[in-house]
Amino acid sequence: MTDYPDSGVLRSINEADVYKAGVLAGHLRRSGDVVGFSYTDSYLAEPVAPPVAFTLPKSNGTYRATGGSVPPFFAGLLPEGLRLSAMTTAVRTSEDDHLSLLLAVGRDAIGDVQVVPGGYRPLDPVPVFDGADTSDADFGSLFAQVTATNADEFDRTGLPGVQVKVSAQMISTPLSTTRGPAILKLNPPDHPFLVENENFFLDMAAACGIQVPQHRIATDGRGRTALFVDRFDRVVERSGVRKLAQEDACQVGGRYPAAKYRITLQEAMRSLAEAVSAGGGSYPLAIVRMLEIAAFSYLIGNGDLHGKNLSIRQNPTGLWEVTPAYDLLTTQPYLSWNDPMALRLYGRDGKLIYRWWIEAARHLGVSERAIKRSLVRIVDSSEPWIDRVSDIGFDEKTTRRLSRMIGQRREELRRPSV
């Protein structure tokens, strides 16, 4: 079947098909308040077929969740913030009715897993915006569209909104560009500089040697701005677009999204690095890359590096690795300059001085030399960016305070003189 069922009937559908990289892998079935996932016999019989997720190894058994939930990996595919609220209204259900919500948006989630009503083909939904030329676009109308609660208009993709602590209103929505699949991030009306903020710090992170996705600012016909970010869970090949497996720290750890602020930073890093190692990648490299992302987040005052903002992916060669850094922006101007790190690193969420990062590396089993090189590179490369903070567009007072904060934190990350 190709015609997708109306959102109003999703609550009455009790079976979903789960596809892994385009192959039918299993089913989600609802019985009362219990939802279970089980693999198909044919998928289990295929020795090279990978498990759907790290927490769902291939087995003849059923992975069950109660209270209307789905197993944690699948819950991690759902959007959050305004997107989730709009979707809940459109489907006419509650936020804990995971299966119905997943049926609404599971065709285009992060990674290579698709969830569709039983018997339906897993066709990607039409992007809400198609093309790189935004001169005739209206980002205000697009924002309204992707937060619509009308059952006929709401955005049927599982891409999450970002920066819940700052604003549950920044919206991420898929689009097609001449380079391939991308995400268009839209400013909410009451936070006009969120996309400029993220664009600036993605550029700064790249200058500091941290891998980030390709991105650029776009302007619509009315002068509103948005941010194009290439999807790093998609790769364009001659035969078309290939979906790449991706999981965040909550998914890998078997935790529901609600736990994203309750885990520790070292717990998130260790579980992701161990998964990378199990997938043929490098544990030490994964730890160092995540420590770099965390140190940079501390430098810029990003207080929202939570368990869903650290992820790993299976790259096109088949090996697992840490994803490019994403959702990098300063949260301090929005939260009265008193926003600590979202996750504690060995008991601390502030004043994360040089010594703390060295000790963290030691505890996590990687060489001190590697993290020392990383900190030196971040400190040295960030210096010229302090004078460019005004590019974001904040008022003069906010700009001065942000520049001063970054300067102070650079000194905290600098190796003490002997």
Integer Cα distance of 290 and 178 in angstroms:
31
For residue 102, the SS3 value is: helix
Kindly list the domain boundaries of the chain, sorted by start residue. Answer: 7-117, 139-230, 242-413
pTM of this structure: 0.91
In contact, 41 and 110? CB cutoff 8 Å: no
Q: How far is CA 340 from CA 215, 259, 293, 297, 330, in A?
A: 27, 17, 15, 11, 11
Task: Pull the structure tokens for residue 393.
Answer: 């567009």
Integer Cα distance of 340 and 325 in angstroms:
19
Integer Cα distance of 287 and 108 in angstroms:
29
Beta strands in 14-150 (DSSP E): 15-20, 23-31, 34-39, 63-65, 113-117, 129-130
For residue 253, the SS3 value is: coil
218-248 burial, b at 16+ Cβ within 10 Å, e below that, comes to bebeeebbbbbbbbbbbeeeeeeeebbbbbb
DSSP state of 417: P
Best CA proximity match to 129, nearest among 157, 163, 89: 157
What architecture is domain 242-413? Orthogonal Bundle (1.10)
What is the full per-residue pLDDT of the chain (418 aa) written as tens digits?
556 788 778 999 999 999 999 999 999 999 999 999 999 999 999 999 999 999 999 999 999 999 999 999 999 999 887 677 778 888 888 889 999 999 988 998 999 999 999 999 998 776 666 655 677 777 777 666 666 655 455 555 555 443 334 433 455 665 555 566 888 887 776 676 999 999 999 999 999 999 999 998 988 888 888 888 889 999 988 888 899 999 999 999 999 999 999 999 999 999 999 999 999 999 999 999 999 999 999 999 999 999 999 999 999 999 999 999 999 999 999 888 999 999 999 999 999 999 999 999 999 999 999 999 999 999 999 999 999 999 999 999 999 999 999 999 999 999 987 5
Integer Cα distance of 131 and 179 in angstroms:
10
